[in-house]
Structure 1
Amino acid sequence: MNASPPKPPSARPPLDGLRRQLAKSREARGRLPRDGYVRETFILPSLAARQKAREWFDNFPRAAYWTEIESWCERPDDVIEFTMRRLPTAD
């Protein structure tokens, strides 16, 4: 039998890339998405969903904030899931 010499313990890979990636993602939290819109998703019964959308349009007029219902879908039991988006400030 040929016994091979024991291998030295392998060195840990450098973690600099991972550190940078984590730091970058932590900085990005709380920032606006790259397109600059503020988004909020709601899951409400249809009547409450309609009222919430109206509230957004009243508080953030479409002409100034470009407010819109970005997406929506009907769920069982007359529940609506929808995402509202608007600009953070009016110009």
Structure 2
Amino acid sequence: MTRIPGPPPLDGLKKRIADHRKAKARRGSDFVRETFCLPRDDAREKAREWFDAFPKAAYWTEVESWRQLEGDRIEFTMRRLPSAD
């Protein structure tokens, strides 16, 4: 008679995930983040300033998140590495 194995125990995986999250919280974020809330045209200009000052290829610059608010205002978070290598 062949025994069908059940799902593997997840205790070891859960512990590794928890340890990774604790270590990450202790060392802080690897990125510099700044959040802005500006009218649409000013938001575009601010994002361009970031990309000009911190080129994506060197700093991994990106718009991390954004949302449109009332009055055609945009709230967005820019993210980049603290320095280029």
Give unmatched runs, 5+ long, in structure 1: 1-32
2:51 to 57, 66, 71: 57
Mapped to 1, the partners of 2:58 and 2:35 lie a distance apart of: 21
Q: Structure 1 runs of 4+ off > 6 angstroms?
A: none
Paired residue for 1:89? 83
How do 1:11-90 and structure 2 match up within 5 A? Answer: 34-90=28-84
The alignment's TM-score, normalised by the length of structure 1, stands at 0.63
Q: Deviations over 1:15-73 (max 9, x none)?
A: xxxxxxxxxxxxxxxxxx72310000000000000000000000000000000000000
One-letter amino acid matched to 2:58 = A
The structure with the larger Rg is: 1
Structure with the largest fraction of helix? 2
Mapped to 1, the partners of 2:77 and 2:47 lie a distance apart of: 9
What CA RMSD, in Å, does the superposition of the two structures yield over aligned residues?
1.1
The alignment's TM-score, normalised by the length of structure 2, stands at 0.67
Count of residue pairs brought into register by the alignment:
59
